[in-house]
Structure 1
């Protein structure tokens, strides 16, 4: 602790101390001008830095690949580069803290936020988190690793109790956070919304004080997720430093009163304040008195990095020799994601990207548009397409659209996300109404679908007729972070070329947890059999058909889990029809996690491209044409069907929830650990991915000279590129306990290294394993235990391809402190 912050603490009044422990507004902690303490500003991440704007619109930002895409790179160095680049983005938005990375585990295949997280495996997640944090904080910007802990589902996430045994917590869910503290020195941690075993994590003393601070030695801050604090004394005493957002709800004068009443000691208050001052000193906000400004810095080096990372994230799941594309024949570009750039997931991670490159644009640039033909085939949207255009907005300082407007403004597109500051401050952001008016001119005549969903009451009129009503009988659904209703859809016949008058009425309502107001209105014309027939004709007339299918940020989103892992809409039907017409069919998937692929054996190639950021189309085209290697390996097992996933259960308390609880019954057997345990072969295993060259691993050597004394081991081997072009692979090392007194996984990932080798190049790889690599957590004794007996070392290029094996043995047990 520096003498400066000690001096500041001594000079702060009780009220000033308390002011530093809650937000001033949605994105900042107040300054203390009397002592020259500047304002601390935060911004959402993790795949960019949105700044202080709404989730919709705002100052433009660079859009990087999402978390699962970075997980698929298995490249710690690359993720460190991205962390450093994100520091530039944070600074361009006038902020000091990035709310990232997200390291919750892929427990299920249907979690709406899997796209934002790295992996199903704690070691892969932890290694990448360490790189991300070091890159970010190396540039003076604080990370805020999240969500601590047990937020593996978006269903009732603000109230649910995640019932997780301590062994599963220690061996799976806490490891990325532990490494972030011990190996990366993270300056920030964000508590999750949920309860952990009955207690909100924001007031969980065992979690925030015993584990995080006492056992791990953490000296940074813990902030609440937005509106995730539920008490005053309990949160402060448990270890929650900062309540967000502001203005204060549970702190402020309530905390002053709690200190005066002896519910919170002065010493405890000072601990919380010192943590905040320490963070402010680390990120330089103590002395940051600049006028707040946000800039849209579209940097060429960020463009190049995003494109490179997008290619390295792409996982080639199948290739019958059709890729990379060669020759000069006609290519049919088909599918709902072909001309739409799906660059990110939904929720707090979304931002206003500088630009979006679609796969069509990427292929047109790489191959020439004259070689391409296009057919959409079908749709894959969850909601009707947002109504685009410029709209007049009349704001009323009441909830009944009564009287004269308090403010008149405009909006681009028929959607809004209002938080904190609305209509230039002329209405209460939680108690207002609005009338939005504009026109819609259809391109085709026919029966159109009109949809609206809202965190508030909303309805849509076209040419004066009520078409979609989300006002009367409003019911809570799975939109806008569970504050909104599900989409309400009506139909109307519209005439091509005619400017139809559109009026949208909106009013706020009481919120459950998150204080926000929002709506989205869309109008769409359904595609039918004719669209699939058109796609089949295009495929039949081309040498190669490339199908761009999957999901989008409406499906893969914060605040809503997936209903399953079948492709939405008629996409499976489209693949079957196109593959029947042209056996040279390549499927390019964009999803935030696994899908079922009933057509996998009928297509020539499958590429999983995830949501790779603003350079999506260029990165995908680079891989398809061979300008770049498909460098990704799966960070999550792809099961044959949803029912194969360990979280899938007839018991609703296991998933999705029952009476306020979700029970992690599978314990430590998450992902590949489960499939190994039950002997089930997945569609594609964890760690799997093909490239455009081949690799051999050999010469495994194990140095166990220190294994008996301290549990350490050195494993070395040689990796060779045996193909005729440069390429990459991931060398993966797994450990098996041959005989344990408690159930353990068949194998567990303990180390890995991404290699890029030229043709014929050979490189030595070494791994240093410590005692924790062989230990399991014994709950009753509260320690890690390495048991006497044999262990098997397995090395290969996926969890299902481990040709190199070796054995080591201990004659004594070894107990390790937490």
Structure 2
């Protein structure tokens, strides 16, 4: 410990030490000006750095989501993303990015699967370590989360994840352990849920015995926001309660814990040490003056986001090699689907950012297709849960020609007096998080969102309003939607039909108020033209007269989000019908899926090609076009199994839980481990992904026929591009323990490498197998055991496409 930090701890009064145990507000720690201890700032991630405001006051770069990063199978690329995110975090005046999310894809329905890397602990751990290393190499702290078994959103503030010791160690703790030992994150976030009945934020066994004891984690343990539940959090491993002000790690409870002897003074000092050490690591002492938030749209980040999008895209089917498309052939291309025009670039919840810009798939395709191709668009079917935001091109600041919506804040709940602040939004949607409104230090407030609306067509429109709070909408002075006296937490959408005229500037005003203290408030007004015809019929007609039809289907942040799980694997609305009807009239139908987790594909045999594009960030449209037109090989491989049906999933019987508990009854057999053992064929296996070229695997060699526990074995394999195009390949190594004292999965991922090869090019890929790669956790010891015996090395393109095998012996020590 640096001497100056020890000196600071000795100088702090007891009250000052206690004050440091909770945040000052939603995003800052407490400062102690008397001793020169500055506040540091945290901000949400993981696919961008948002800053304080959720309303786009300062826009951010939006990167591909966590599962897309996992689908790249490229740790070097993910490290570069971490480095870029460090710059983005500094742009928001923050010191710690609340990322990465390393929870496990236990079920396809989990609402935050899109944030997490994989169903596999090894792939997750490698990616998390790369992300953290990149971030912290630029002086920004990572906050690895959510520790642990926060693998669904159902009753997330109270559910107990009941999990056995072996799966806890081998599946759910393992990626945290790998990342902590390899990359040493400077902070960690506890989960909302309970683990085997004990809240994560006060789970002494996890936070003290395992994390800080066994793993020697020397960073800061903070709670998830409002994720503390009792005074037991004072003395069971939590260092920082967020957000502030304190609810449980306050003077009353800490003094009581000290008096009872539950909390020793040395334990209190350790908490303070950890915070001060974190401030030191992120440069807080060296640069104590808070930096102002800003938006920097960096060209190099644009390029990186596009590349990451390309490397994440998984080609699932390519019948007759319909892909890549050749724009020089002068094709007519039908682009169909809501997600082609309203790009789904991220999931919902705390990971959302306001992007600098968005390239939609339709824009990306049109830009790449060029003048020789005719690209036409039809929505096919809307998939909105709420009416979509008003197109920013339709709104103007009142009495001006500037695009945008004027947002005025008032301290008077009835809009008396002058506004105390004015901001500009892009559309009629705003939300606020925290006990006090950003920039204003207000617990209660009123807001007025005003714009002039320029509709492109005369006719009837559906207007909808949803809010958490109280709101009403005025159109040209007439009240059209009213929830001014309704309950605050309703959130349901109210709709009305209105008439709009093109060429007329309609005055639209939304009044919103929040009269009581709280931590989440929101209002959104959407607009959608009324139409009498069937939009699917329009799309089918377009597809029938086009050379190729590209249907964009999937989910959006309204269907995949923090706060709730999906109810099934189905595509919302009439998307399955749309795909089938388009495919029936055009045999060259390509489906592009925007989703952060698997969806049911009953039409899979009826379409020519399927691409899994995830949520690709602000450059999603360009990345998709790069792959569709063959400017890049589809570089992604599945980081999670796609089952044929939901009932095949190993967590199915025990999901989502009941009476406050969810049993992790599948034990070790999560994801591909289960499908392998049960002999259930998934729709697409873990690690799967096609290329525009072909690869051969030859000359699998081991450096020795046997190894001792303190030794390693090197595995090498030659991989050749035997096709006529450059391509990316992910070489995957699995281990099989032939005979074990305890039950083990048939295959476990223990190595992978991504290579790019020119036609005819061969490269030798090498892996190193050590004791840990062969070990399992035995609760009877307790500890990790590498049991002597025969192990098989399996190398291939996916867990179901093993090309080469070899065996070696692990011999006993001595």
TM over 0.5, shorter chain:
yes
Task: Write out per-residue CA displacement over residues 106-129 of structure 1, whole angstroms, 9 at most, x where no aligned residue.
Answer: 111011111111001000000111
What corresponds to 1:565 in structure 2?
569
Find the residue that maps to 1:742 and give its secondary structure. Answer: coil
Q: Aligned pair in 2 of structure 1 residues 490, 468: CA closer, same or farther (>3 Å)?
A: farther
C-alpha contact (below 8 Å) 1:734/1:793 kept by paired residues: yes
What corresponds to 1:698 in structure 2?
698
Using the alignment, how far apart are the partners of 1:226 and 1:386 within structure 2?
Answer: 28
Q: Aligned pair in 2 of structure 1 residues 283, 590: CA closer, same or farther (>3 Å)?
A: same
Find the residue that maps to 1:802 and give its secondary structure. Answer: strand
C-alpha contact (below 8 Å) 1:508/1:517 kept by paired residues: yes
Using the alignment, how far apart are the partners of 2:800 and 2:270 within structure 1?
Answer: 49
Find the residue that maps to 2:618 and give its secondary structure. Answer: coil
What is the aligned-residue RMSD (CA, Å)?
Answer: 2.6
> Counterparts of 1:776-791 in structure 2 under 5 Å?
776-791=776-791
> Counterparts of 1:627-706 in structure 2 under 5 Å?
627-649=631-653, 654-704=654-704
Task: Write out per-residue CA displacement over residues 75-129 of structure 1, whole angstroms, 9 at most, x where no aligned residue.
Answer: 0111111111111111122211111111110111011111111001000000111
What corresponds to 1:319 in structure 2?
318
Match of 2:388 among 385, 388, 403: 385
C-alpha contact (below 8 Å) 2:234/2:254 kept by paired residues: no
What corresponds to 2:534 in structure 1?
530
> Counterparts of 1:360-371 in structure 2 under 5 Å?
360-368=362-370, 371=374
Using the alignment, how far apart are the partners of 1:34 and 1:580 within structure 2?
Answer: 74
Using the alignment, how far apart are the partners of 2:388 and 2:640 within structure 1?
Answer: 30
Once the 2 structures are TM-superposed, how far is the Cα of residue 261 of structure 1 from its aligned partner? Answer: 2.8
Report the TM-score when normalising by structure 2.
Answer: 0.92
Asked if 1:488 corresponds to 2:490, the answer is no
Deviates most, 623-632 or 150-159: 150-159
Using the alignment, how far apart are the partners of 2:514 and 2:358 within structure 1?
Answer: 32
What corresponds to 1:241 in structure 2?
239
> Counterparts of 1:203-222 in structure 2 under 5 Å?
203-222=202-221
C-alpha contact (below 8 Å) 1:397/1:426 kept by paired residues: no
Once the 2 structures are TM-superposed, how far is the Cα of residue 509 of structure 1 from its aligned partner? Answer: 7.4
Match of 1:356 among 358, 375, 380: 358
Find the residue that maps to 1:123 and give its secondary structure. Answer: helix
Match of 1:453 among 452, 463, 466: 466
Task: Write out per-residue CA displacement over residues 680-714 of structure 1, whole angstroms, 9 at most, x where no aligned residue.
Answer: 11111110001111111111112345524447432
Once the 2 structures are TM-superposed, how far is the Cα of residue 544 of structure 1 from its aligned partner? Answer: 1.2
Using the alignment, how far apart are the partners of 1:81 and 1:23 within structure 2?
Answer: 30
Asked if 1:173 corresponds to 2:187, the answer is no
Using the alignment, how far apart are the partners of 2:49 and 2:57 within structure 1?
Answer: 11
Using the alignment, how far apart are the partners of 1:425 and 1:121 within structure 2?
Answer: 42
Q: Aligned pair in 2 of structure 1 residues 771, 470: CA closer, same or farther (>3 Å)?
A: farther
What corresponds to 1:481 in structure 2?
none
Using the alignment, how far apart are the partners of 1:727 and 1:604 within structure 2?
Answer: 21
> Counterparts of 1:297-336 in structure 2 under 5 Å?
297-320=296-319, 321-326=321-326, 327-336=329-338
Task: Write out per-residue CA displacement over residues 768-796 of structure 1, whole angstroms, 9 at most, x where no aligned residue.
Answer: 11222222212232112233433222110
Match of 1:581 among 582, 585, 590: 585
Asked if 1:347 corresponds to 2:345, the answer is no
> Counterparts of 1:534-553 in structure 2 under 5 Å?
534-553=538-557
Find the residue that maps to 2:621 and give its secondary structure. Answer: helix
Using the alignment, how far apart are the partners of 2:806 and 2:57 within structure 1?
Answer: 56
Q: Aligned pair in 2 of structure 1 residues 237, 422: CA closer, same or farther (>3 Å)?
A: closer
Match of 1:616 among 604, 610, 620: 620
C-alpha contact (below 8 Å) 1:378/1:528 kept by paired residues: no
Asked if 1:48 corresponds to 2:48, the answer is yes
C-alpha contact (below 8 Å) 1:447/1:491 kept by paired residues: no
Q: Aligned pair in 2 of structure 1 residues 339, 457: CA closer, same or farther (>3 Å)?
A: same
C-alpha contact (below 8 Å) 2:709/2:811 kept by paired residues: no
What corresponds to 2:432 in structure 1?
418
Task: Write out per-residue CA displacement over residues 756-778 of structure 1, whole angstroms, 9 at most, x where no aligned residue.
Answer: 11211111122111222222212
What corresponds to 1:477 in structure 2?
none
C-alpha contact (below 8 Å) 1:445/1:493 kept by paired residues: no
Deviates most, 599-608 or 778-787: 778-787
Task: Write out per-residue CA displacement over residues 167-208 of structure 1, whole angstroms, 9 at most, x where no aligned residue.
Answer: 111010111110111111111111111111111111110000
Find the residue that maps to 1:273 and give its secondary structure. Answer: helix
Q: Aligned pair in 2 of structure 1 residues 245, 473: CA closer, same or farther (>3 Å)?
A: closer
Once the 2 structures are TM-superposed, how far is the Cα of residue 274 of structure 1 from its aligned partner? Answer: 0.5
C-alpha contact (below 8 Å) 1:15/1:256 kept by paired residues: no
Q: Aligned pair in 2 of structure 1 residues 528, 219: CA closer, same or farther (>3 Å)?
A: farther
Aligned length: 795
Q: Aligned pair in 2 of structure 1 residues 493, 37: CA closer, same or farther (>3 Å)?
A: closer
Report the TM-score when normalising by structure 1.
Answer: 0.92
Task: Write out per-residue CA displacement over residues 372-402 of structure 1, whole angstroms, 9 at most, x where no aligned residue.
Answer: 1111111122221124645566766577x49
C-alpha contact (below 8 Å) 2:709/2:810 kept by paired residues: no
> Counterparts of 1:732-771 in structure 2 under 5 Å?
732-771=732-771
Once the 2 structures are TM-superposed, how far is the Cα of residue 444 of structure 1 from its aligned partner? Answer: 5.2
Q: Which residues of structure 2 form unaligned runs of 5+? A: 398-404
Task: Write out per-residue CA displacement over residues 375-434 of structure 1, whole angstroms, 9 at most, x where no aligned residue.
Answer: 1111122221124645566766577x49768757465333221234767876742x4455
Deviates most, 633-642 or 768-777: 768-777
Q: Aligned pair in 2 of structure 1 residues 120, 813: CA closer, same or farther (>3 Å)?
A: farther
C-alpha contact (below 8 Å) 1:323/1:625 kept by paired residues: yes
Q: Aligned pair in 2 of structure 1 residues 596, 420: CA closer, same or farther (>3 Å)?
A: closer
Task: Write out per-residue CA displacement over residues 550-577 of structure 1, whole angstroms, 9 at most, x where no aligned residue.
Answer: 1112212111211222111111111111
